[in-house]
Amino acid sequence: MAIKVTAIIGSNRKESYNLKLVNYMKNRYAGKLDIEIASINDVEMFSADIEENPPKGAMDFKLKVRNAEAVLFAVPEYNFSIPGALKNAIDWMSRSGLDLLGKPSFIIGSSMGVLGSVRAQMHLREIISNPKLQPKLLPGNEVYIGAIHTKMNEQNDLTDEATVAFLDSVVENFIKYYNEVK
Ligand code: FNR
Protein backbone atom coordinates (compact mmCIF):
# COMPACT_ATOMS: atom_id res chain seq x y z
CA MET A 1 0.00 0.00 0.00
CA ALA A 2 1.18 3.50 -0.83
CA ILE A 3 2.54 5.56 2.05
CA LYS A 4 0.27 8.52 2.83
CA VAL A 5 2.65 11.48 2.52
CA THR A 6 1.85 15.11 3.28
CA ALA A 7 4.10 17.41 1.23
CA ILE A 8 4.95 20.79 2.68
CA ILE A 9 5.97 23.14 -0.13
CA GLY A 10 8.21 25.90 1.19
CA SER A 11 7.12 28.39 -1.48
CA ASN A 12 3.85 30.32 -1.70
CA ARG A 13 4.43 31.17 -5.39
CA LYS A 14 1.89 29.91 -7.94
CA GLU A 15 4.61 28.91 -10.43
CA SER A 16 6.88 27.45 -7.75
CA TYR A 17 9.44 24.96 -9.05
CA ASN A 18 9.30 23.15 -5.72
CA LEU A 19 5.54 22.75 -6.15
CA LYS A 20 6.04 21.52 -9.73
CA LEU A 21 8.65 19.07 -8.50
CA VAL A 22 6.28 17.61 -5.91
CA ASN A 23 3.49 17.35 -8.50
CA TYR A 24 5.92 15.47 -10.73
CA MET A 25 6.76 13.13 -7.83
CA LYS A 26 3.07 12.62 -7.14
CA ASN A 27 2.67 11.12 -10.61
CA ARG A 28 5.99 9.32 -10.87
CA TYR A 29 5.73 7.55 -7.51
CA ALA A 30 1.96 6.96 -7.46
CA GLY A 31 1.41 3.49 -6.02
CA LYS A 32 4.42 3.92 -3.73
CA LEU A 33 3.72 7.35 -2.27
CA ASP A 34 0.25 8.85 -1.98
CA ILE A 35 1.24 12.53 -1.88
CA GLU A 36 -1.13 15.23 -0.67
CA ILE A 37 0.02 18.85 -0.57
CA ALA A 38 -0.41 20.89 2.59
CA SER A 39 -0.28 24.47 1.37
CA ILE A 40 1.38 27.06 3.59
CA ASN A 41 -0.41 29.86 1.73
CA ASP A 42 -3.46 30.04 3.99
CA VAL A 43 -1.67 29.52 7.30
CA GLU A 44 -2.25 32.60 9.45
CA MET A 45 0.68 34.35 11.09
CA PHE A 46 1.56 32.55 14.30
CA SER A 47 1.00 34.33 17.59
CA ALA A 48 1.29 32.78 21.04
CA ASP A 49 -1.96 34.66 21.82
CA ILE A 50 -3.94 32.32 19.55
CA GLU A 51 -1.90 29.13 19.76
CA GLU A 52 -4.43 27.33 21.99
CA ASN A 53 -7.17 27.92 19.44
CA PRO A 54 -5.55 27.87 15.99
CA PRO A 55 -7.53 29.67 13.23
CA LYS A 56 -8.86 27.59 10.32
CA GLY A 57 -5.92 27.91 7.91
CA ALA A 58 -3.39 26.92 10.54
CA MET A 59 -5.57 24.12 11.92
CA ASP A 60 -6.22 22.63 8.44
CA PHE A 61 -2.49 22.65 7.79
CA LYS A 62 -1.65 21.11 11.17
CA LEU A 63 -4.20 18.33 10.72
CA LYS A 64 -2.90 17.43 7.27
CA VAL A 65 0.53 16.93 8.81
CA ARG A 66 -0.75 15.20 11.94
CA ASN A 67 -2.87 12.72 9.96
CA ALA A 68 -0.12 11.83 7.49
CA GLU A 69 2.00 8.69 7.72
CA ALA A 70 5.02 10.61 6.46
CA VAL A 71 6.10 14.12 5.51
CA LEU A 72 8.03 15.49 2.53
CA PHE A 73 9.52 18.98 2.66
CA ALA A 74 10.27 20.71 -0.66
CA VAL A 75 12.16 23.91 0.02
CA PRO A 76 13.50 26.86 -1.89
CA GLU A 77 16.09 29.23 -0.44
CA TYR A 78 15.35 32.82 0.52
CA ASN A 79 18.32 34.87 1.71
CA PHE A 80 20.37 31.84 2.76
CA SER A 81 17.50 30.34 4.76
CA ILE A 82 13.98 29.00 4.40
CA PRO A 83 11.18 31.38 3.32
CA GLY A 84 9.39 33.16 6.18
CA ALA A 85 6.04 31.61 5.23
CA LEU A 86 7.53 28.14 5.79
CA LYS A 87 9.04 29.16 9.11
CA ASN A 88 5.59 30.41 10.17
CA ALA A 89 4.03 27.03 9.30
CA ILE A 90 6.79 25.24 11.21
CA ASP A 91 6.18 27.44 14.26
CA TRP A 92 2.53 26.34 14.19
CA MET A 93 3.59 22.66 14.05
CA SER A 94 5.69 23.12 17.18
CA ARG A 95 2.67 24.17 19.30
CA SER A 96 -0.66 22.67 20.42
CA GLY A 97 -0.36 19.24 18.88
CA LEU A 98 3.32 18.67 18.02
CA ASP A 99 2.25 17.59 14.56
CA LEU A 100 5.67 16.66 13.20
CA LEU A 101 7.06 14.78 16.21
CA GLY A 102 8.32 11.30 15.27
CA LYS A 103 6.87 11.50 11.75
CA PRO A 104 9.05 9.75 9.14
CA SER A 105 10.19 12.59 6.85
CA PHE A 106 12.53 13.53 4.04
CA ILE A 107 13.68 16.77 2.50
CA ILE A 108 14.21 17.83 -1.10
CA GLY A 109 14.73 21.26 -2.58
CA SER A 110 15.45 23.14 -5.74
CA SER A 111 16.45 26.59 -6.89
CA MET A 112 17.38 28.30 -10.10
CA GLY A 113 20.88 28.93 -8.78
CA VAL A 114 23.57 26.23 -8.76
CA LEU A 115 23.41 25.38 -5.05
CA GLY A 116 19.88 23.96 -5.13
CA SER A 117 18.79 25.42 -1.78
CA VAL A 118 21.59 23.75 0.20
CA ARG A 119 21.81 26.55 2.78
CA ALA A 120 18.03 26.56 3.29
CA GLN A 121 18.01 22.79 3.75
CA MET A 122 20.87 22.89 6.26
CA HIS A 123 18.96 25.55 8.17
CA LEU A 124 15.73 23.53 7.98
CA ARG A 125 17.51 20.51 9.49
CA GLU A 126 18.67 22.69 12.36
CA ILE A 127 15.20 24.19 12.94
CA ILE A 128 13.38 20.85 13.02
CA SER A 129 15.93 19.38 15.40
CA ASN A 130 14.05 21.27 18.12
CA PRO A 131 12.57 18.63 20.48
CA LYS A 132 9.04 19.95 19.81
CA LEU A 133 9.42 19.27 16.08
CA GLN A 134 11.87 16.39 15.69
CA PRO A 135 10.55 14.18 12.89
CA LYS A 136 12.29 10.88 12.13
CA LEU A 137 14.36 12.38 9.35
CA LEU A 138 15.84 10.17 6.62
CA PRO A 139 19.61 10.35 7.18
CA GLY A 140 21.81 11.36 4.23
CA ASN A 141 20.01 11.40 0.88
CA GLU A 142 20.41 15.16 0.50
CA VAL A 143 18.59 16.37 -2.62
CA TYR A 144 19.87 19.72 -3.92
CA ILE A 145 18.50 20.35 -7.40
CA GLY A 146 20.23 23.42 -8.84
CA ALA A 147 19.31 25.16 -12.12
CA ILE A 148 15.87 23.58 -11.87
CA HIS A 149 14.53 25.78 -14.70
CA THR A 150 16.85 23.92 -17.12
CA LYS A 151 15.78 20.47 -15.87
CA MET A 152 12.04 20.63 -16.50
CA ASN A 153 10.11 20.71 -19.74
CA GLU A 154 6.98 22.75 -20.50
CA GLN A 155 4.79 20.00 -19.04
CA ASN A 156 6.73 20.38 -15.77
CA ASP A 157 8.27 16.93 -16.04
CA LEU A 158 11.79 16.51 -14.74
CA THR A 159 13.84 15.79 -17.85
CA ASP A 160 17.37 15.57 -16.46
CA GLU A 161 18.07 11.82 -16.37
CA ALA A 162 20.72 11.92 -13.63
CA THR A 163 18.41 13.94 -11.39
CA VAL A 164 15.49 11.58 -12.03
CA ALA A 165 17.67 8.52 -11.24
CA PHE A 166 18.90 10.14 -8.04
CA LEU A 167 15.37 11.05 -6.95
CA ASP A 168 14.25 7.46 -7.67
CA SER A 169 17.00 6.15 -5.38
CA VAL A 170 16.13 8.61 -2.61
CA VAL A 171 12.46 7.60 -2.75
CA GLU A 172 13.43 3.91 -2.54
CA ASN A 173 15.70 4.71 0.43
CA PHE A 174 12.89 6.62 2.10
CA ILE A 175 10.44 3.74 1.66
CA LYS A 176 12.94 1.33 3.27
CA TYR A 177 13.58 3.81 6.09
CA TYR A 178 9.84 4.35 6.60
CA ASN A 179 9.27 0.61 7.01
CA GLU A 180 12.08 0.44 9.58
CA VAL A 181 11.01 3.38 11.74
CA LYS A 182 7.21 3.70 11.36
C1 FNR B 1 15.59 34.10 -3.61
N2 FNR B 1 16.34 33.15 -4.26
C3 FNR B 1 17.51 32.66 -3.70
N4 FNR B 1 18.21 31.63 -4.27
C5 FNR B 1 19.32 31.15 -3.68
O6 FNR B 1 19.94 30.21 -4.20
N7 FNR B 1 19.79 31.69 -2.50
C8 FNR B 1 19.16 32.72 -1.89
O9 FNR B 1 19.58 33.15 -0.83
C10 FNR B 1 17.99 33.25 -2.49
N11 FNR B 1 17.30 34.27 -1.92
C12 FNR B 1 16.09 34.66 -2.41
C13 FNR B 1 15.34 35.61 -1.71
C14 FNR B 1 14.10 35.98 -2.18
C15 FNR B 1 13.28 36.98 -1.39
C16 FNR B 1 13.59 35.42 -3.38
C17 FNR B 1 12.21 35.81 -3.89
C18 FNR B 1 14.32 34.51 -4.08
C19 FNR B 1 15.84 32.51 -5.49
C20 FNR B 1 14.85 31.39 -5.18
O21 FNR B 1 15.48 30.34 -4.50
C22 FNR B 1 14.26 30.90 -6.49
O23 FNR B 1 13.48 31.96 -7.02
C24 FNR B 1 13.42 29.65 -6.32
O25 FNR B 1 13.02 29.23 -7.60
C26 FNR B 1 12.18 29.93 -5.49
O27 FNR B 1 11.52 28.70 -5.28
P28 FNR B 1 10.13 28.37 -5.97
O29 FNR B 1 9.17 29.47 -5.64
O30 FNR B 1 10.39 28.32 -7.46
O31 FNR B 1 9.73 27.06 -5.42
Q: Could you write out the three-class secondary structure of 159-170?
A: CCHHHHHHHHHH
Q: In this predicted structure, what is the pLDDT of residue 101? A: 97
CA of 76 to the centre of ligand 1 (A): 6
Q: Does the model's pTM come out above 0.95?
A: yes
Any atom of ligand 1 within 6 Å of the Cβ of 94: no
Any atom of ligand 1 within 6 Å of the Cβ of 135: no
What ipTM describes this predicted complex?
Answer: 0.98
At residue 19, φ and ψ (nearest 5 deg) are: -65, -45
Q: In this predicted structure, what is the pLDDT of residue 96? A: 87
Domains and CATH numbers, the chain: 3-181 (3.40.50.360)
Best of 22, 77, 107 for a ligand 1 pocket test (most atoms within 8 Å of beta carbon): 77
Average pLDDT (99-104) is 98
Average pLDDT (55-77) is 98
What is the per-residue pLDDT across 108-167, written as a single tens digit (0 to 9) for each? 999 999 999 999 999 999 999 999 999 999 999 999 999 999 999 999 999 999 999 999
